[in-house]
Amino acid sequence: MVNPLQRLVQMPGPDLALNDVTLPDGRRADIGFKAGRVVHIGALETADENIRCHGMLLIPAATDMHVHMRGGNQAEKEDWHSGTMSAIAGGVTLVVDQPNTVPALTSSSRFTNRVKEAVTNACCGFAINAGVAPEADLSSLWSAGAMAFGEIFAGPSSYGEALSSDDLAQALQAISHMDGLATIHAEEVRPSLAETMATHDSNRTPQGEADAVRKVCQLNSSGCQLHFCHMSTARAIEVVLEQRRQLNGITRDKHSNSKIFRTSFEVTPHHLLLAIQDFLPDDACTKVNPPLRDKKIQEGLWNMWDQIDVIASDHAPHTAVEKALDFPNAPSGIPGVETMVPLLLAEVLRRKLPVSSLIEKVSRRPCEILGLQPAGFLPGERADFALYSRKITLTDPRELHSRAGWTPFKGYPAIFPELVVMEGRIVFHNGEFLNQGSRWYPGRGYHAVD
């Protein structure tokens, strides 16, 4: 049988080549793409279209496994078009949408309608998670193509009610039975009014986050594969790592043959880069669940850098008007899909961390955890890339594409991509969007209906 890659290589030249890029390890090379794949990496590639990229850093595009694309009844906050333009302009070509829509994504018919809405309006790759609530039909959501389950609210949040322990244990059992992935929002919440960021933090404490992780692990008697969302403290991460050591459960990803831990976690850029002290006490723009913490806890998160599996944005846009409400009435959430890689690239360079560690967390690991073929430099890998100069700019909300129109990262140093390639085609160049198109990535349980 002819290997499909061999067939691609034998066809006349690549569709597109990026010449003289700098790779993450500092080497310089030409890279050629054909039919959505990398076909060549080396020297002197000529193609139908050649772009000279001297001095520019090329990295695989990111997969953001935690975004709230809104749309539907919440389109004034964001919709699939604005949200995915925002993704692309930030070097993200695949997003995983969360199901706490209004109404929640708890039935296969709602799920299928959401896929249709996204196929029509999105301009990057996407997957959609299934909502988990007592009334949710988990098995039909799985066969409708859900990528994973959740975020499952083990503590309440904006547009998400907490599940009871019994309901959560049952859901984990059902998901485990289907060999699915359960993604968890783990918090313990004191139901008292918060007037400031500091009281919001003391209603949703670091200890409560760690306790919630432990409790979810205890409820998981069926050994369901778990992914903990937006861990905001080193303390909670320690609990995840302790559980991982105890379970020692490892599976192998079928595409990369690399190890997948049965318990993984993500951290957001806002918990890494923002702290309570950086803002006015009652500034609701930075109200988010889990809350921002103090500077010491924030630095503790950076100390866990090497252990972090995934960086995801938890892109949760709300309108400027909603965020201007007084603190108790403003919704929680921060937009961040566009700023995730740019802010962290600047920070990784400043802290002298290897760029490869950022690529691992924003691109490689999310794909491994979700069972998606990763974007990468090897011939045959998905040709999704972003090209960066070393020019640091200051984040300006007027230049971002999310409908939210604001960012708590205003003025923060960032390196935005000059060019983005998706499936071997240029989709963004010097601020312009080209060749727009979407692709749905259904989960493993998908059964197409005729």
The residues of the shown chain that bind ligand DOR, judged by CB under 6 A, are 68, 100, 157-160, 185, 288-289, 316, 331-333
State the nearest-atom distance from the C-beta of 421 to Zn ion, in Å: 31
Residue nearest to Zn ion (CB): 185
Cα gap 343→320, rounded to integer Å: 22
Interface with Zn ion, residue 209, by CB under 5 A: no
Where is 260: in which H helix or E strand?
A: strand 259-261
State the nearest-atom distance from the C-beta of 187 to ligand DOR, in Å: 9
State the nearest-atom distance from the C-beta of 109 to ligand DOR, in Å: 22
Measured from the CB atom, is 333 or 445 closer to ligand DOR? 333
Cα gap 42→18, rounded to integer Å: 11
Q: List binders of Zn ion among 216-235 (CB under 5 A).
A: 229
Cα gap 142→171, rounded to integer Å: 13
Interface with Zn ion, residue 151, by CB under 5 A: yes
Q: What angle do CA 370, 376, 381 make, to 5 degrees?
A: 85
| Residues sharing a CB contact under 8 Å with residue 10, sequence separation 6 or more, in sequence order | none
| 79, 97, 201, 314: the active-site residue | 314
State the nearest-atom distance from the C-beta of 235 to ligand DOR, in Å: 19
Measured from the CB atom, is 73 or 221 closer to ligand DOR? 73
Measured from the CB atom, is 311 or 419 closer to ligand DOR? 311
Q: List binders of Zn ion among 383-412 (CB under 5 A).
A: none
Measured from the CB atom, is 331 or 417 closer to ligand DOR? 331
Cα gap 166→176, rounded to integer Å: 15
Measured from the CB atom, is 31 or 229 closer to Zn ion? 229
The burial class, CB within 10 Å (0-12 / 13-18 / 19+), for 259 is exposed
Interacting residue with Zn ion among 37, 77, 185, 287 (CB under 5 A)? 185
DSSP bridge pairs for 29:
21
Cα gap 393→222, rounded to integer Å: 48
Cα gap 198→313, rounded to integer Å: 22
* Candidate ranges 4-12, 127-135, 181-189, 383-391; the one touching Zn ion (CB under 5 A): 181-189
Residue 316 interacting partner from ligand DOR, Zn ion, none (CB closer than 5 to 8 Å by kind): ligand DOR
314 is catalytic: yes
State the nearest-atom distance from the C-beta of 286 to ligand DOR, in Å: 10
Closest by Cα among 258, 255, 252, 234 to 360: 258
Side-chain half-sphere of 65: how many Cα atoms within 13 Å? 34
Closest by Cα among 450, 189, 236 to 332: 189
212 neighbors 299 (Cβ within 8 angstroms): no
Measured from the CB atom, is 274 or 288 closer to ligand DOR? 288
Binding string to Zn ion for residues 71 to 110, with x set by CB under 5 A, is what?
----------------------------------------
Residue 140 interacting partner from Zn ion, ligand DOR, none (CB closer than 5 to 8 Å by kind): none
Task: Show which residues are catalytic.
Answer: 314
**Site of interaction with Zn ion (CB under 5 A):** 151, 185, 229
